[in-house]
A and B are shown apart, each in its own frame.
Chain A
Amino acid sequence: MKSIDIKKLYFIHSWVGLITGILLFVIAFTGALSVFGRPEIKIWANPEIRGEINIDKNAIERLVAEQAAVLPAAYREEILIFLPGARSFPNLTLFFENHEAQQAVLLTFDNDTLELIAKKEGDTQTVFSGNKTDIADFIVDFHADLHLGRPVGLLLTGLLGLTLMASIVTGFIIHRQKLKQLFTFRFKKTFDITLADSHKLFGVWGMIFNGVIAFSGAFLGLATVLLIPAAAFVSFNGDQEKLIETFTTTPEPVLAEIFMPTKIAPALEHIYAYDSDMTPEVVTIYGYNDENAVIYISAVGSEAVARQIFQYQGGSGAFTEAFGQFGKVGGFSTAVLDLMFPLHFGNFGGAFVKLIWAILGLSTALLPLSGMMLWIERGQKSASPTYPKSTYARFNRLVIGTCGGVVLACSLLFPTQLILNSLSFTANTAFNFGIVFFSVWLFSIVFAFISKRIKTAATYICFAIAGVLTVTPFLNIILTGDNLISMLFNKQWAAGITDVALLSFGVLTFMMTRKLSKASKNANNKADTKADSNVDNNALINSDIQDQKA
């Protein structure tokens, strides 16, 4: 490739990175957290589900029968059972829907006593709105649409996936001559060399992972906003419902109108025995108590990577077949579609795979950060910079304020969750999380801009992050009474590991900040000493010259 083309690509790579870098960091960092969002952080956030939940399958069957008996028959068309702690709902939740009237009933039960805690009635959107939001929901939703709402937010995150792909391609082409430096990381050289090495290291080694994340992220972001309407426009004359109907692999059965009690317990027994690594999440029943009733149970974590749907006969609870969400339609593209979500969130192989995904996700976040810092560092050190030095300084403050601020804001959500749990008057938890998150983020940005020295501001932000993370497990002990030993004995693995992770990250951040702060001070002292010695030398030389003249 000609050097002029490489220069053009370098220009595109730089500007795409500078424009989208901050947002990319925010999305990637919250994405790394979201990997553990459901169920690990969700379990930590809800003390009532920290222990093992063992609800008797027959009790669930009885509960559905009891509730179905008191509701009009039309509400038996579709029944959903949200198994506790698996996805959005910490408690066992039943959802009855009347398709024709577009009305629904949402019932929440205590996991231990199975007593009714809450009941909501209305249209489908109303019953799901206003549910208690926890830290897991807040972070996962923020990662998905930046809390900007579904069309705008999803479009933005989808486009960011595309820009990440553009950066990967241009980065690969402009650095392909330097692939030999795959193992080069010079930590003890100057700051810009370390930044350049880390940028290449994260970029080259993480290329496949970042490519997969970017592609699946772009797809998940743009699918509902652009891709489905576009596909419907091309193939179904714009009829989106018909398109969805064509690709639905869990169709509703034609009802026989003959009474036959639906057996949910055998289906649940089967799926829990099928694969111990799998987590069943939602049970869907069509045509409850009809001879032709069908039960679908969706589960994640199987060897097939993709989310699996298990189909059972309603009347007997007998297993019929298992298939991927779109895989049943057939073709290569549907198999790829099935892989999008698990490959984006790494939820197919247990905690080990999630850990790899989370750490690689952090490296994805560090990629735009190191790129932006490199641009700033080179600009500030350049003898003939493209822009005034003040521009680089201001951009530096913006990068540190926003990137450090989002990490601090996310960290503060953990103690906020514990405090909100302990307060009984907090009705709108999403609003409270939003207030804490966005005000801390804004404060960090302002703090970075008003601080005398940006390095000091960065150090304070890092120390604040370390402090918040370290304090959270102790706050957990005070407010919930759960400590590491009790969690170990009560088999509260997810909550225990979350506490250990918070403490470890807190201590690690503290140590690294202290080390970097000391190194920075030493470098400043050396520079001052050098400057002083230069002044002394110049004074000596000047006095020598004056003596000689005299």
Chain B
Amino acid sequence: MTSIYVVVAILLQIIAIYSMKDGNSYTPKSARKITGYCVFVASTFFLVLAFGTLAGIFVSLALISLLGMLYPIIVEGRG
């Protein structure tokens, strides 16, 4: 079950970063940011389920840092 929570959390964090960086052009920037924050909170919730409250919050912050770094590198590398 822990693995499923972690996979869901990773996917949610990728969606959060995507919505903050790219999103779709019809949605206002502020709405995309709020969506990004909400999805990030949701991902933290899944990590809390997987690792416990304190550990889940720490892992969530570390994971968003890592994915935030990798996202532009991967996107630019593919583009």
Contacts and interface: CB of A to CB of B under 8 A. Distances in A.
A209 B51 contact: no
A353 B73 contact: no
Contact of B61 (A209, A349, A359, A363): A209
Interface in B48-64: 51-55, 58-59, 61-63
Question: Which of B6, B52, B72 has its CB near the most chain A CB atoms (within 10 A)?
Answer: B72
A205 B59 CA distance: 14
Contact of B59 (A183, A185, A353): A353
A359 B66 contact: yes
B27 to A, nearest CB: 17
A187 B71 CA distance: 13
Contact of B65 (A188, A206, A343): A206
A550 to B, nearest CB: 55
A202 interface: yes
A352 interface: yes
Nearest to B53: A303
B65 A208 contact: yes
A40 to B, nearest CB: 18
A356 B73 contact: no
B65 A209 contact: yes
A303 B52 contact: yes
Given A206-B65, A360-B66, A185 B54 contact: no
B73 A187 contact: yes
B50 to A, nearest CB: 8
A182 B51 contact: no
Given A208-B61, A353-B51, A356-B59, A187 B66 contact: no
B71 A183 contact: yes
B6 A352 contact: yes
A408 interface: no
How many residues of A sit at the interface, in one of the four size bands? 20 to 34
A187 B78 CA distance: 10
A209 B62 contact: yes
Given A209-B61, A356-B66, A360-B65, A304 B72 contact: no
A348 B54 CA distance: 10
Contacts of B63: 356
Given A183-B21, A205-B69, A360-B66, A305 B58 contact: yes
B51 A349 contact: yes
Contacts of B59: 349, 352-353, 356
Given A303-B54, A348-B55, A185 B76 contact: yes
A305 B55 CA distance: 6
A408 to B, nearest CB: 24
DSSP class of B's interface residues: helix, strand, loop or mixed? helix
B73 A305 contact: no
Contact of A201 (B6, B53, B69, B77): B69
A356 B68 contact: no
Contacts of B66: 205, 356, 359-360, 363
A198 B73 CA distance: 9
Given A185-B76, A356-B63, A205 B51 contact: no
Interface residues of B, number: 22
Contacts of B53: 303
B69 A183 contact: no
Contacts of B6: 352
Contacts of A205: 65-66, 68-69
A349 B77 CA distance: 31
A343 to B, nearest CB: 7
A184 B72 contact: yes
B54 A305 contact: yes
Contacts of B71: 183
Interface string B31-49: 0000000000000000000
Contacts of A185: 72-73, 75-76
A29 interface: no
Nearest to A335: B54
B58 A363 contact: no
B69 A202 contact: yes
A305 B51 CA distance: 9
Contacts of B72: 183-185, 201
A186 interface: yes
Given A209-B61, A349-B59, A356-B66, A201 B73 contact: yes
Contact of A363 (B55, B69, B75): B69
A304 B52 contact: yes
B2 to A, nearest CB: 8
A202 B68 CA distance: 9
B62 A356 contact: yes
A357 interface: yes
A184 B68 CA distance: 11
Contacts of A187: 73, 76-77
B54 to A, nearest CB: 5
Interface string A186-227: 111000000000100110011111000000000000000000
A234 to B, nearest CB: 30
Shortest beta-carbon contacts, A-B, top 4: A303-B52, A185-B72, A205-B68, A205-B69
8 contacts: A184-B72, A187-B77, A201-B69, A205-B68, A352-B6, A352-B59, A353-B62, A356-B63
Given A202-B69, A343-B58, A353-B51, 11 more contacts: A182-B68, A184-B72, A201-B69, A205-B66, A303-B51, A303-B54, A304-B54, A305-B52, A305-B58, A356-B59, A356-B66
Interface of B: 6, 21, 51-55, 58-59, 61-63, 65-66, 68-69, 71-73, 75-77
Interface of A: 182-188, 198, 201-202, 205-209, 303-305, 343, 346, 348-349, 352-353, 356-357, 359-360, 363
